[in-house]
Structure 1
């Protein structure tokens, strides 16, 4: 079996999805962080990224988000200019694959499973992304964590038909 994503939401369930390998071994940078803001500039959460032998563990503590299913991606440019966050560019995709966890020609390294925000707008999740490394996320123009208005359909190229970007945070050391 190929490399895996693992998500633990509120400690209740672990979901595993197969993905291709694009991981570099962990190096000097062991942790990084992204502070997410909504289009009004209000902080809506933090994501702590930790290098692990099998990729990067993302620990997200989110609040003030709309209830529902939202795409959760790593984007390829470390800029988060409101109100639309298009400055974050497309998904992080160093291998130039197509988008989608269910796409046979994908996924992008920045594609991750959807998150499901409860009515109170608060969510704590952990996601293991085995397709990225911290050095890879922190080089060049950097990268950003982006949440979308809707869920990712896991097949539509280039972005999963997930709608507008509702939160963004630049990944920094």
Structure 2
């Protein structure tokens, strides 16, 4: 009888420890490797909701995008590749032929450098599918020094990448894939700006 009770308790403990496939919490780091906040991703019926809590930014507007690889190698975070763009669209929320699925509205840091924002990534998912943010090894979320102009190709003229967080299938997963090259963000453009 004691064996049955122990087995039931172990099964219940294991079930409670399983991660919710419809939500993820990502730690955000600056170029020095300091944790400066979190990004919480939650599956919704029309996409993925992103709640940001950040500190230590310069006051004003900053660009924010989902990038194609779950890699955050500082100090420039270029290891994250280009914007998440499985549909081959143009960049920019204001572009008539846009936008990348990874394009998000600019965020604003207050006078103390704090950000508390609630954003939406339409047409994306944390589950399986072409537009999955955790497909393969996952993606990353990047904050840039300047605001995204919403039109310029390939990345909105938003300056240096200053914060990065990895979005993977498992919150505990923290391994990078080696040897990946970023895609060409202009491969679908009819005209490329110099």
* TM-score, normalised via structure 1 length: 0.81
RMSD: 1.1
Deviation at 1:53, TM superposition (A): 1.0
Where has structure 1 moved over 2 Å in runs of 4 or more?
A: none
1:114, 1:151 within 8 Å by CA — same for their partners in 2?
yes
CA distance in 1, matches of 2:100, 2:91: 5
**What is the TM-score when the length of structure 2 is the normalising length?**
0.73
Higher share of residues assigned strand: 1
Asked if 1:49 corresponds to 2:41, the answer is yes
**What is the aligned residue count?**
146
Q: Structure 1, unaligned stretches of length 5 or more?
A: 1-27
SS in 1 for 2:133: helix
Conserved 8 A contact 1:38-1:44:
yes
Q: Which has the larger radius of gyration?
A: 2
- The 5 A counterparts of 1:64-143 are 64-135=56-127, 136-143=132-139
Helix, strand or coil for the counterpart of 2:116?
strand
Q: Which residue of 1 aligns with 2:31?
A: 39
The answer on whether the counterparts of 1:72 and 1:145 sit within 8 Å (CA) in structure 2 is yes
Matched, 1:59 2:44: no
SS in 2 for 1:137: coil
- Higher RCO structure, 1 or 2 (CA under 8 Å, sep 6+): 1
> Is 2:147 the counterpart of 1:151?
yes
CA shift at 1:131, angstroms?
2.6
Q: Please tell me whether the aligned partners of residues 34 and 144 of structure 1 are also in contact (alpha carbons under 8 angstroms).
A: no
Q: Which segments of 5 or more consecutive residues in structure 2 lack a partner in the other structure?
A: 1-19, 171-194
Query: Corresponding residue for 1:166?
Result: 162
